[in-house]
Structure 1
Amino acid sequence: MKIGSAHLTYCTNIHAAETWPETLEALKNNFPVIKSDLSANEAMGIGLRLSNIASVGLLEQEANLLEFKQWLSDNGAYVFTMNGFPFGGFHHTVVKDQVHAPDWTTDERLDYTLRLFNILAKLLPAGLDGGISTSPLSYKPWHAEGEARNSAKEIATKNIITVAAELYKIYQATGVLLHLDIEPEPDGFLESGPEFIDWFENDLLPQGTVTLSEKLNLPSIDATAAIKQHINLCYDVCHFAIGYEPHNEIIDELNKKEIKVGKIQISAALKALLPVNVTERDLVTNALAKFNEPTYLHQVIAKTNGGELIRYPDLPEALADSHNPEVNEWRAHFHVPIFVEDMGKVQSTQTDIITVLNRFKNTPFTQHLEVETYTWEVLPDELKAPLTQSIIRELNWVKNQLV
């Protein structure tokens, strides 16, 4: 739904669907109900998630795409953003670190992303820009520090630049503006605002400017502008909150560097203050242990009494160190409902969302807003609720923050 000049929706990675028929069926079963409650008289956008299998299925027969476009028209819906981060299975399977696979060092990731842009270019309404969020190049534990990691980053950056060149060609030929939105995540190659900005300035821009100048016969200044137009940041509030990042400072730095935010993913992480008293601390960590489920990766970043950060690859490793007397706070990568801040012994990073939305409200810095709480099936029972009603409640909560 429209919020001023921006488009607000939810990401359909919420729905358990991997093939194209499953994806379309999930949309038919859920989206009309959500739209009728939130945007009955106006068109409403969809944040579409397509697995690799679904993307192939949608394009393998022209009839599939025509049928989908007709369904969008009949239901007052449109697609303006897509989630291209999870390539393969995302529900009813062990995902964990495989959410990054294949990473940006591979042709599979490149081909999948270009296929998604092919689809988005055909679906995007006239006059709108379209974005696809993607992984932060790769997962750090897969590549040893030093030469191996630097080599992987160089290959991944080269593939990102290939996407930028293709998106520039599309824009020049059709006027359709598309951008790839890189999504930092804990333990990714790019896991924070400063890491993303450093990579953008010191890897992407220098390599990209030279490559686009040569491949597209562009002056350097135009090649640099093309990179900045087609490669953006996906500002996932949950991921930045886990790292205790100062949102306003990061956004100021992005503006200063003229780096665009393609999409804000509105999501909340788990947060817990750890008491000094061991008995009280155990009550808190026992509450956190209820979120220790086997499907997704739940990285934890702890803050010490001295303000330093300790990183744990998943909840089990953090729980094993729960009596560390130097730690006073945990933040965990578990997307919890954004309309809930206090969950008893644990909290959410809802205040981080409010900070970012207040900044956006005062000075809009993107046109794409997407709620992304994909963990409804694996939440503790006391937080579960009917899916469509939960989505409606989340979107209404965002709307109320912005009006």
Structure 2
Amino acid sequence: MSRIRCEGRDVDLSYSTNVHPAETFDELLAMLRRDVALVSRGAFGETEACVNLRLGMTQVDELLGHPMLPSTSTLSDGILAAPPTPRCAELLATLKASKLRVVSINGFPIRAFHAPRVKEQVYSPPWTDGGRVIYTLKIAKAFAHLLDDRREGAVSVPSGTFKGYTDSDEIKAQCAHFLTECVRELARLERLTGKTVRLGLEPEPYTTGEAVDEFIEYYTRFILPAAKDKLPLQMRLSAAEVEKLVRRFITVNLDLCHQAVEFEDPIEDLKKLRAAGIAVTGLHLSAALKLPDPATNAAAFEQLMALDEPRYLHQVVARKRDGALARFEDLPDLKNPRRLKGLSLGDIAELRCHFHVPLFADFPGPLASTRDTVAPAARFAVREGLTDNLVVETYTWNVLNELASSGVASAQSIVGAGGVDVNAGLVRELQWALQGLQGAA
């Protein structure tokens, strides 16, 4: 099994299957047999491999055999405690035959993730919408069955809402209300099934709690108080018992690409989260793009801008020469005077862009990767006992291949002029991660 040794501890190393297009249950099974089994064998040999499984809306509905429920945040005890459906059994059989084991779930994008245009829709529905609660709980229910002989696991989900729509204390309070609903239902799921499924809120640039200090404030000022206000009466618990439940079920999934875009030191972030008593149930091993001094490196700036593509959102954070940060929703904003608000390229010391790039990729010029932070942060998290769930997440292979095929030089420098076989690239990433975790990268 790809439970590897790192810093004297056993950890799960996997990659997120959100890189593979698959929206229906049948597509999910085919993807596991065709792609995930091949990648896992290439990286880990014939041993059983860990999987970070992306489950979307259509798949989880088919998996559980239940249609979308009415707009309520509760699932009945009958649904929660029901035995595995035939499709659950089929999925478990496929996993076993392919020597795969689901150890964590990517429940962040629940709509079509490889549609021609995803962009901000990746956050839909947000945590201000009961639909996010319903599908998150359905994913948790499915995961409880997929855990098989394991007793616990985590589902990564958005942290709140997309700031491009709205961001206010009222919105954070709304998100906290629905997250509180999840705490109650996940506790009930644990009681009925004996499985502990935690939510890993994943901060992302331009979303709620994007920087760790902001996330900690969101957690302590909104999520905890909402639960303490609501759950003691509903669950007949003291405020202290409720806080313990919240900290048990609402955790953080830290993505190193996202933290790099925010100019954050991931090791310091991990220390802050530990000090705040917020558990880390997943660490995404991923890298962003960075470009120092874009005014001087004009050619490299144009190479970065050429990576603008219609599918995914590529948020940008600029560190100005005075150290202040300016945030932009997507790459085109860097050439939009209205979005720049008087900021010029000459005012910018460095740009960071939310474009997941392969961990092993070398860059020939000023446009580079933030991968140097990945292995040290992962080893620190493992050494300190903060998490044992490490996930390589580079979902952009297909768009990089498309850009390279259309002649974009910066994409060609990553995947070659003709693109690269995605599965072969994923094997290389896992091998790079394995070497880094064991001190060789």
Which of 423, 427, 432 lines up with 1:388 in the alignment? Answer: 423
Q: 1:35 aligns with which of 35, 40, 43?
A: 40
Shift of 1:188: 0.6
Matches within 5 A, 1:192-271: 192-271=211-290
Query: Residue 391 of structure 2 aligns with which residue?
Result: 370
CA distance, structure 2, for counterparts of residue 338 and residue 365 of structure 1: 22
- DSSP 3-state at the match of 1:86: coil
CA contact (8 A) 1:341 1:349 kept: no
2:329 paired residue among 313, 316, 334: 313
**Corresponding residue number in structure 2 for 1:6:** 11
The CA distance in 2 between the partners of 1:30 and 1:41, in whole Å, is 15
The reply on whether 1:109 has 2:132 as its aligned counterpart is yes
Q: 1:204-238: CA deviations, max 9, x gaps?
A: 11221332322211222221111101100010111
User: Which letter does structure 1 place at the counterpart of 2:310?
Assistant: P
In 1, Cα distance between equivalents of 2:366 and 2:398: 21
After superposition, the Cα gap between the structure-2 partners of 1:373 and 1:303, relative to the gap in structure 1 and judged at 3 Å, is: same
The structural deviation recorded for 1:65 is 1.5
Distance 1:189 1:227 in 2: 18
Give the equivalent residue in structure 2 for 1:333: 354
Instruction: Quote how far apart the aligned CAs of 1:352 are.
Output: 2.0
Kindly state the Cα deviation for residue 166 of structure 1 after the two structures are TM-superposed: 1.2
1:28 deviation in Å?
1.3
TM-score (norm 2): 0.86
The answer as to 2:52 corresponding to 1:17 is no
Name the stretch that deviates more: 63-72 or 164-173. 164-173
- Amino acid of the residue matched to residue 32 of structure 2? L
- Runs of 5+ consecutive residues of structure 2 not aligned to the other structure: 67-84, 405-411
Distance 1:306 1:334 in 2: 25
Shift of 1:275: 5.2
**1:130 is the counterpart of 2:153:** yes
Distance in structure 2 (CA, Å) of the matches to 1:22 and 1:127:
25
Q: Runs (4+) of structure 1 moved beyond 6 Å?
A: none
Q: Separation in 1 of the partners of 2:198 and 2:436? A: 27
Percent identity for Structure 1 against Structure 2:
30
Q: Structure 1 295/215 Cα, relative in aligned 2: closer, same or farther at 3 Å?
A: same
How far apart in 1 are the matches of 2:124 and 2:184?
A: 23
User: Alpha-carbon deviation of 1:36?
Assistant: 1.9
The amino acid of 1:57's aligned partner reads E
1:298 aligns with 314
1:40-88 deviation per Cα after TM superposition (whole angstroms, max 9, x unaligned): 3432111111211111122228322211111112222111211111121
What residue identity is the alignment partner of 1:112? Y
Query: How does 1:59-70 map onto structure 2 within 5 Å?
Result: 59-60=64-65, 62-70=85-93
Return the alpha-carbon distance in structure 2 between the equivalents of residues 333 and 33 of structure 1. 28
Aligned length: 396
Deviation sequence 1:17-52 (CA, Å, 0-9, x none): 111111221111112212222333432111111211
2:45 and 2:295 map into 1 onto residues whose CA distance is 51
Aligned-partner Cα distance in 2 for 1:266–1:128: 24
Segments of structure 1 that go 5 or more residues without pairing to the other structure are none
Is the 1:14–1:374 Cα contact (8 Å) retained in structure 2?
yes
Counterpart code for 2:381: F
Q: Contact 1:247–1:355 at 8 Å: present in 2 too?
A: no
